[in-house]
């Protein structure tokens, strides 16, 4: 398989651009099911050590069912498959541009959860319009480490629990503590029957000259997002719109824990919120995945 690596605001995306299994066409959702059921070794070989790491997000290009789309995309990580991935979509667009398959201008990509629009500004700068995003529950309370933590449950292409008041320092030196704390929150949500919530997002004030907010995002497989998280920023903006704190035409600058920034905004149509995210990605490797039958770890070290 041929893969191209990039990072978007520090978060890696490894795009399978050729040599993957034939998934039989049809909807991207159906192709995801075939990949999961019959060829999960692709995900495992690409994402797990020794080739990959828990931070890596994979994206497999597949034929789109909707012919207006430049490609279909299936995202995956160290524990499974993602509905959408914001940083990954920016990485895919920059990769397709690098390959000469798309140019500057507007394009569409088909994901398992819907069609995403992308605007390529130059070889590194891309805006995306995500699937409809919304808040499901405001101010859900869970008990974590003996105290009550409150957050909103929102969809931004993945499910998020968004927490404003947590008393934790969102800074790179505190990543171990933030990871442990957000894993506790996720376990408490699971115990309360909210198993679908696999991303936990903590917010803190940012330097206002740089951004409107800083975040820490725990991803499903236990790694934290180095980027400001496209689907997490979408979920956040859906909550801000619901609270009357963000209007179409206004910009929301979301900073990640490592200092990278996405510029967000929203399009609202008949009360439905479609977030837009603008960020930068950089291609940093082109490789061929070799599967040597003699290699006991050719499909990755499975957890």
Indicate which residues carry an active-site annotation: 85, 229
Contacts of 166 (CB under 8 A, 6+ apart): 149, 181, 202
7 interacts with ligand PYC by CB under 6 A: no
Q: Which of 11, 152, 201, 255 binds ligand PYC (CB under 6 A)?
A: 11
Q: Which stretch binds ligand PYC (CB under 6 A): 39-47, 83-91, 164-172, 179-187?
A: 83-91
Q: Which stretch binds ligand PYC (CB under 6 A): 18-26, 133-141, 223-231, 236-244?
A: 223-231
Which C-beta is closer to ligand PYC: that of 78 or that of 227?
Answer: 227
Give the per-residue SS3 of the chain: CEEEEEEECCEEEEEEEECCCCCCCCCHHHHHHHHHHHCHHHHHHHHCCCCCCCCCEEEEEECCCCCCCCEEEEEECCCCEECCCHHHHHHHHHHHHHCCCCCCEEEEEEECCEEEEEEECCCCEEEEECCCEEEEEEEEEEEECCEEEEEEEEECCCEEEEECCCCCCCCHHHHHHHHHHHHHHHHHHHHCCCCCCCEEEEEECCCCCCCCEEEEEECCCCCECCCCCHHHHHHHHHHHHHCCCCCCCCCEEEECCCCCEEEEEEEEECCEEEEEEEEEEEEEEEEECCCCCCCCCCCCCCC
111 interacts with ligand PYC by CB under 6 A: no
86 interacts with ligand PYC by CB under 6 A: yes
For the bound state, the minimum distance from the C-beta of residue 255 to ligand PYC, rounded and expressed in Å, comes to: 14
227 interacts with ligand PYC by CB under 6 A: yes
8 Å CB contact between 128 and 116 = yes
How many residues form the binding site for ligand PYC (CB under 6 A)?
Answer: 11
Q: Which of 57, 59, 118, 246 binds ligand PYC (CB under 6 A)?
A: 57
44 interacts with ligand PYC by CB under 6 A: no
Q: Which stretch binds ligand PYC (CB under 6 A): 40-48, 82-90, 113-121, 267-275?
A: 82-90
87 interacts with ligand PYC by CB under 6 A: yes
Q: Which stretch binds ligand PYC (CB under 6 A): 24-32, 37-45, 61-69, 219-227?
A: 219-227
Q: Which of 230, 264, 275, 300 binds ligand PYC (CB under 6 A)?
A: 230
85 interacts with ligand PYC by CB under 6 A: yes
Which C-beta is closer to ligand PYC: that of 59 or that of 120?
Answer: 59
Give contact residues for ligand PYC (rule: CB under 6 A). 11, 57, 85-87, 219, 225, 227, 229-231
């Amino acid at each position: 398989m041929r893969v191209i690596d990039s990072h978007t605001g520090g978060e890696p995306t490894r795009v399978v651009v050729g040599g993957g299994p034939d998934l039989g066409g049809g909807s991207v959702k159906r192709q995801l099911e075939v990949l999961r059921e019959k060829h999960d070794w692709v995900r495992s070989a690409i994402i797990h050590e020794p080739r990959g790491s828990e931070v890596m997000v994979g994206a497999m290009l597949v034929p789109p069912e909707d012919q207006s789309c430049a490609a279909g995309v299936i995202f995956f990580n160290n524990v499974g498959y993602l509905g959408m991935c914001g940083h990954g979509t920016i990485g895919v667009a920059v990769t397709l541009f690098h390959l000469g398959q798309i140019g500057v201008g507007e394009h569409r990509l088909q994901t398992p959860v819907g069609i995403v629009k992308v605007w390529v500004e130059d070889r590194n700068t891309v805006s995306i319009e995500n699937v409809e995003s919304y808040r499901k529950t405001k101010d859900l309370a869970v008990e974590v480490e003996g105290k009550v933590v409150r957050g909103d449950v929102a969809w931004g292409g993945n499910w998020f629990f968004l927490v404003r008041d947590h008393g934790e320092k969102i800074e790179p030196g505190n990543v171990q503590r933030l990871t442990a704390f957000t894993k506790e929150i996720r376990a408490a949500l699971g115990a309360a029957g909210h198993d679908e919530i696999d991303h936990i997002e903590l917010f803190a004030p940012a330097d206002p000259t740089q951004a409107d907010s800083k975040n820490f995002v725990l991803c499903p497989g236990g790694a934290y997002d180095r980027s400001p998280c496209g689907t997490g920023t979408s979920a956040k903006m859906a909550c801000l719109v619901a609270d009357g704190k963000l209007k179409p035409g206004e910009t929301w600058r979301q900073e990640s824990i490592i200092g990278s920034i996405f510029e967000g905004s929203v399009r609202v149509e008949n009360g439905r919120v479609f977030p837009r995210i603008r960020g930068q990605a950089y291609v940093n490797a082109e490789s061929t995945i070799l599967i040597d039958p003699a290699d006991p770890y050719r499909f990755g070290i499975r957890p």
